[in-house]
Amino acid sequence: MAEVDLESHVLVNKGLSIEIMEGMGRVAVATKPLDNSYLYQVVLCERPLLVWEVGDMEDFVHQFQSAPQETQDAIMDMFHPPLDSDSSPIIAKFRDMAGPLAEATGTDVTWAHKILAICATNAHKFYSGKTTSRKPHSAIFAYASKIAHSCIPNLAYTSVKSEDDNNQGALQYKVIRNIPMGQPAAFSYIGGGRVLYQTPTHERREKLWRTKSFVCQCKRCSGPDYCRSVQCNTCTQKMFVPCIYNNEENDYQPTWTCRREACGIRNSQDIQLQEKLFDDRLQALFQQHQQQTDNETQTDDSAIQALQDLIEESKTSLSPVHHITIQALETLAKWTAANAAVTKETIAKGGLFKIAAEASLQVVLGCECVASGCPGCFDAAVLFSSSAANGTSTGTGDVLAQHDPIYEMGVTAFTASKLLMHVPEASRPPHAMSMIQRYLPIIAQLAAP
């Protein structure tokens, strides 16, 4: 096979090169420090090699067979897990799919198995420029296939229209965190937003193993799990303690140890029982809400009150940044905003919209903490209290500035800003507008064409 030209479809490259790194293979790394001066700038723009309907592998194979030889060579040169792996769930799945695909497309079974593995490992979700509906497709890229994964990514990508002859569009990667020279460029293979920062380590690793056939060794997966932080119920300072996993046998047994020696290790079984009890309560509320949705009725006040009670208890029994707390807050924002829209709540009243906005902003703060490796440093009751508005609360400004805004929460911050428009100015949560202002550069990037 001829040497593959990875740059063949690249439109913009402002500082990446392909290097071989131990334990990672061929990856894109920064050729210079991509620091704050590059923040939110496009560092890579590339046209796809092939675009196909999501899940339609017969469509992919037919396109592959009619593609130029250099395109076929570039795809067949891409990484895939070993086809003889007995432990990889995705390889076993594709082994079963290879026969029917080979028969339908007139190809070899081994080749079909390999192409399925390549697509699963390297394909991007992509909004093709071919259709006005902009529905999601799958696409495969020569250069972007060498972008690594991280659960604290330094790149984010989006699909854009292009002016090429076939109007397939292009993929853009933007810098969202500093990338030191020589370090890998990475995005999240499991999505962004709350999903990224409020999914526990063992669940992220399990999903990556199941869908990509590797065990993530990024900084977050190798360190404390901050989205399972809990409050130390022994020390007087009520510190929040992150979860540490015992990974000696890959069983992900969690432990929680306060940094004050006098407190020591909390009972892991008790904490896991608390997590289960809160999760069971939340799931029961989801079921109740689904029944009301099926009956085409709005969420009743008792369900919203039960959800608010769960949140307050979870903040103290677990923590404000625990993934169950954040999921409940996100749900509260969704339910109250929907009820406000159904009841046509006026701006003069704005109570439900205010609850939704406060909940959304707490989701943002919680995810900022997790992304920064913080077990929880804010008190929502202080941030959004009347005393904070009157300036009698201390440290609120410091809390807001303690962590950098994170790109992945830009949509949630924008949603909160729209909710606040329905709340009278005098009734808006203190510091809410300051939080929104911190996210304006990110919101502007998300709104850009």
What's the rounded mean pLDDT across residues 111-119? Answer: 94
Sequence-ordered alpha helix ranges (H) in 126-258? 194-197, 201-212, 219-222
Overall average pLDDT of the 207-230 stretch: 93
Q: Are 204 and 151 in contact (CB under 8 A)?
A: yes
Cα-Cα-Cα-Cα dihedral of 317, 322, 325, 327, to 10°? -160
Sole residue written with tokens 């939080």: 435
pLDDT in tens, 73-85: 999 999 999 998 8
In the chain, domain spans: 10-211, 280-447
- Rounded to an integer, the average pLDDT of 212-224 is 93
pLDDT at 252 over 80: no
Beta bridge partners of 255: 244
pLDDT value at residue 411: 94
pLDDT at 45: 96
Predicted local confidence at residue 237, as pLDDT: 72
pLDDT of residue 179: 98
CA distance 326 to 198: 7
> In angstroms, what CA-CA distances link 275 with 42, 321, 325?
41, 13, 10
What is the structure's pLDDT at 86? 81
For position 394, what pLDDT does the model report?
Answer: 46
pLDDT digits (tens, 9 = 90+) for 32-57: 999 999 999 999 999 999 999 998 99
pLDDT of residue 401: 62
* Contact assessment for residue 184 and residue 152, using Cβ atoms and an 8 Å cutoff: no
pLDDT at 297: 72
Residue 165 banded pLDDT, cuts 50, 70, 90: low
Instruction: With a cut of 70, say whether residue 257 has pLDDT above it.
Output: yes
Six token digits for residue 357 = 């906005």
CB atoms within 10 A of CB 424: 13
CA distance 354 to 425: 11
What pLDDT sits at residue 341?
85
Mapping DSSP onto H, E and C, the string for 94-145 reads HHHHHHHHHHHHCCCHHHHHHHHHHHHHHCEEEECCCCCCCCEEEEECCCHH
The stretch 403-418 carries a mean pLDDT of 95
323 vs 307: CA distance, rounded Å: 15
Residue with tokens 């929880």: 376
Tell me: pLDDT of 324 over 80.
yes
**CB-based burial label for 36 (10 Å; 0-12, 13-18, 19+):** exposed
Q: Is the pLDDT of residue 133 over 60?
A: no
Distance CA 156, CA 177 (A): 10
Cα angle: 82, vertex 84, 90; to 5 degrees:
70
* Cβ–Cβ < 8 Å for 445, 38: no
Read off the pLDDT of each residue in 251-279 and give the average, rounded to a whole number: 86
Strands 148-149 and 186-187: parallel
> What architecture (CATH level 2) is domain 10-211?
Beta Complex (2.170)
Contact 98, 112 (CB under 8 A): yes
**Tell me: the pLDDT tens digits for 288-322?**
988 887 777 777 889 999 999 999 999 999 999 99
Mean pLDDT, rounded, of the chain: 88
* Percentage of the chain exceeding pLDDT 70: 89
Residue 393 has pLDDT above 80, yes or no: no
What is the spatial distance between Cα 210 and Cα 222, in angstroms, rounded to a whole number?
18
- How far is the C-alpha of 384 from the C-alpha of 397, rounded, in Å? 12
Q: What is the pLDDT of residue 57?
A: 93
The tokens for 116 are: 């399925």
State the pLDDT at residue 392. 47
Give the residue from 158, 161, 126 showing the smallest Cα distance to 140: 126
Instruction: For residues 397-401, give the mean pLDDT.
Output: 57
pLDDT (tens digit per residue) in 345-392: 665 566 899 999 999 999 999 999 999 999 988 777 666 665 555 544
Q: Cα–chain-centroid distance for residue 200?
A: 12
Percentage of the chain beyond pLDDT 90 is 65
Q: Give dist(CA 45, CA 159) in Å, integer.
A: 9
**Residue 265 pLDDT class (50, 70, 90 cuts):** confident
Q: What is the rounded CA–CA span in Å between residue 370 and residue 372?
A: 5
Q: Dihedral (C-alpha) 175, 179, 182, 183: value to the nearest 10 degrees? A: -100
